[in-house]
Amino acid sequence: MAKNETTGNRPTEDFSAGTIAWRSPSNIALIKYWGKKGFQIPSNPSISMTLSDSYTETLVKCRPSQNSGNISFDFFFEGEKKPQFGQKISTFLEAVFDIFPFLKNFDLEIHSSNTFPHSAGIASSASAMSTLALCLCSMEQQISGSINENNDFFQKASNIARIGSGSASRSIYGGFVTWGKIDSLPETSDFYASPLKTSIHPIFQNLRDTILIINKNEKAVSSRAGHGLMENHPFAAARITQAYQNLDELSVYLSDGNFDGFVKIVENEALTLHALMMASNPGYLLIQPGTLNVIRKIWDFRKQTGTNIVFTLDAGPNVHLLYPERETKTVRDFIKNELLADCDENKIIDDKLGEGPKKLK
Ligand code: 2P0
């Protein structure tokens, strides 16, 4: 299903005004999406874990439009107009206008806020774009008079979220989520994410994620530009093969509870992501000295203590530390004693595997 082939209910135009709000979490990829083919289609499938406490809430107020025919909206982030975010929303609404033609009949006032500080260096496009996609789908649903949030609703929301930001497609579901066609898994698609159907071993069911903020500044190269640099990348073909292999292996480890196997794949994916950035043309670095210090300390600590702990990285310098809930005390002490010194203003964010978006009353 391409962007403009998305199916949906035919709006009846009866809905004339109202307020819709959703909360949607961020996610961290274990198997990374890095590189696209065509419009927002991933070069390889990915797997992520949805977070719990790092989320965006978006509220959309709809009023009958005074200026029929165009998209009309005001965007407020944490109570203030933010032109650079407004521009991203504008691009997104333009991209989905043919899917939601009723948008021309409304003036929208969009209010968004995050539980995590915007300047914490945490990618917010996944949570932000997924809340907005859910709000648009709810709006369509109210217009069409249907009230159920069924599987089709979330599948469509995931497809719409993907148009805003690829990683946002995965935030529509809780737990472990996959996006990108995998031939052996019929429920998967390049156009929307789906919950990973593999049974998940108890050791991974209460996985925690403590995010170590190594640097809270905006990164020098955007993910969009990074994806672009995968075109004609000398290692692109090998990367795609590796991602499929890693995904197969990770699915087995998630199911049989092999934490050492999980560590091998998750760290390989994180390091590969940043190696691909370094080997791009032009090459660039998002990891920083603090990132490397922390990685070395995690390796030493794991070797010395045998603690089940693994790191992963997003497209930035911050380190996500994943560990089963039962290791919480040990890991907290380790962070306090050894890792906090490498964090920007001693900043960490504690999070865990989450259940996915929630409609707000
Ligand atoms: C991921 N990242 O799988 C990978 C790994 C960052 C590192 O997807 O261009 O914001 O909006 O589709 O989703 C970040 O890129 O990119 C990303 P667009 P997105 O989470």
Return the residue whose CA atom lies nearest to atom 4 of ligand 1: 33
Q: Rounded to the nearest whole angstrom, what is the distance from the C-alpha of residue 12 to the centroid of ligand 1?
A: 35
Ligand 1 atom with the smallest distance to the CA of 129 is 11
Q: What is the pLDDT of residue 10?
A: 37
Q: What is the pLDDT of residue 123?
A: 73
Q: Rounded to the nearest whole angstrom, what is the distance from the C-alpha of residue 36 to the centroid of ligand 1?
A: 10
pTM, full prediction: 0.94
Domain range annotation of the chain: 18-197+356-360, 202-352
The maximal CA–CA distance of the chain, rounded, in angstroms, is: 67
Q: What is the pLDDT of residue 119?
A: 66
* Candidate from 167, 274, 276, 280 with most ligand 1 atoms within 8 A of CB, to mutate: 167
Assigned CATH for 18-197+356-360:
3.30.230.10
Q: What is the pLDDT of residue 14?
A: 53
Q: What is the pLDDT of residue 147?
A: 67
Q: In this structure, are residues 89 and 71 in contact, taking their beta carbons and an 8 Å threshold? A: no
Low-confidence ranges of the chain (pLDDT < 70): 1-15, 119-121, 147
Return the residue whose CA atom lies nearest to atom 6 of ligand 1: 315
| Apex 96 CA angle, 92 and 102, nearest 5 | 120
Measure CA of the first residue to CA of the last residue in the chain; give whole Å: 32
* Candidate from 33, 159, 176 with most ligand 1 atoms within 8 A of CB, to mutate: 33
* Ligand 1 proximal residues by C-beta, below 6 Å: 29, 32-34, 40, 46, 125, 165-167, 223-224, 227, 273, 314-315
Q: How far apart are CA 303 and CA 197, in angstroms?
A: 32
Q: What is the pLDDT of residue 8?
A: 35
Assigned CATH for 202-352:
3.30.70.890
For residue 177, what are its two tokens?
């989520």
- Are 18-197+356-360 and 202-352 the same fold in CATH? no
Ligand 1 atom with the smallest distance to the CA of 32 is 3
